Structure formats: C-alpha cells, structure tokens
Amino acid sequence: MIRENVLKTLTGILIIVVMMAVLSFWFEHEMTMMTNWVVDRIGFAGLCLILLVTDTFVTPFLPDILLVVIAKSSLAERWLYYVFILGVVSVVAGILGWSIGRWLGRFHFIQRLYGKIGKEQRGFVNKYGFWAVVIGATTPLPYSVTCWTAGAMGLHWTKVLAASVLFRIPRIIVYYILIESTGHMFV
C-alpha cells in the first residue's frame, strides 16, 4: 500500500507540474488576470476560508488551486508568508476533520461502514497510525478523508497533529514552489 501511494503521489505531482506548465505557457496573462480578480474579490481571508472548508470536509475542490492563485497573483510577492498560513489553516482543518470523524465514529452504523468498506484501510491506519496520516498529508489524495478516518478509527489526535504539522505544511510549501516554477519552464 505504501508503494502504491508513493506512485500515486509522484504521478499526481507530475500531472500538476505538466498541467501548470502548459497553462502558464498558453494562458499566462489570463491566469494572472483571473487570480488577481479572485484575490481582489475575496482576499486572502477568503482563500483561507475556502481551504478550511475543503480540508475539513470531503469536497471535489483541489486545495492546490489556491496555490495557483497565490503564485499568479499579487500575493506572490510575499508567498512564503501566505503559503505558510495556508499550511497552518490546513492543519487546523485536519484536526477539525479528525474531530468530525471521532464524533461520527461513535455511531454504530459508521462503525459498521468502516468495518465493511475500509477493512484494508482500517488495518493500515491501526498498524501505521502516524505514517498513515503522513501519506494523507503529503499525497494528492484527499487529506480530509485521512483525517476523518483517523478520527473514526480512534487514532490519537496528537499523532494526527504531529503528522500534519511535520508533513502537511512542508508539502504545501513544496507544491507551491513546484507550481510557481512551472511558469518559468518555457520562458
């Protein structure tokens, strides 16, 4: 399972880099106009709220899009500050997701659901705990699902917090650097 997740991570990173390079090459001006429009309308606080929701709840929205907004907008001038704050917001969202999972895990039907659907995942989380959260925090796989599952399966919150702080924040910074650098690939 670890090898499979590493392969998914590398594939996801490659797809993001290629997609951003192509978009930056063909639509640099349009992307800059659009991202500045978004920042002007909702501000950085709005971006943080979007990330809080998408990393707390299971949504189809990829939070890495917010890194594109920072990279292609006026926020890029102080990117480390903004990206670090997004990392902290993501960690807070993970703990909120863990809390939701912990609360839901008390219901019998949820316990049965995890028993039926997530037998392999349950064994993985129970066996690896901290490292299971690290995989969810670093891969393009939904971080919220990892945190909900960790909560529902009773993984201690300190393991979720430690894995998130040590790996989620650096992951967001590294992804930002990759996304930002793709704009310069063909110039």
Query: How large is the average pLDDT for residues 143-161?
Result: 90
Residues 6+ apart with CB under 8 A from 89: 48, 51, 52, 55
Mean pLDDT of the chain: 82
Percent of the chain at pLDDT exceeding 70 = 79
pLDDT in tens, 159-170: 999 999 999 999
Structure tokens at 92: 């807070």
Mean pLDDT for 83-90 is 97
Confidence check: pLDDT of 185 > 60: no
Query: By mean pLDDT, which of 51-65, 74-88, 105-119 is the weakest?
Result: 105-119
Query: Exposed, middle or buried, 101 (CB in 10 Å: 0-12/13-18/19+)?
Result: buried
Can you give the pLDDT at residue 15?
Answer: 75
pLDDT score of 2: 62
Q: Is the pLDDT confidence value at 69 over 80? A: yes
- State how far the Cα of 25 lies from the Cα of 101, in Å rounded to an integer: 42
Asked if pLDDT for residue 186 goes beyond 50, the answer is no
Q: Which residue has the higher pLDDT, 11 or 82?
A: 82
Pick the residue with more confidence: 97 or 112? 97
Average pLDDT over every residue of 35-42: 82
> How far, in whole angstroms, is CA 101 from its chain's centroid?
17
Count of residues in the chain:
187
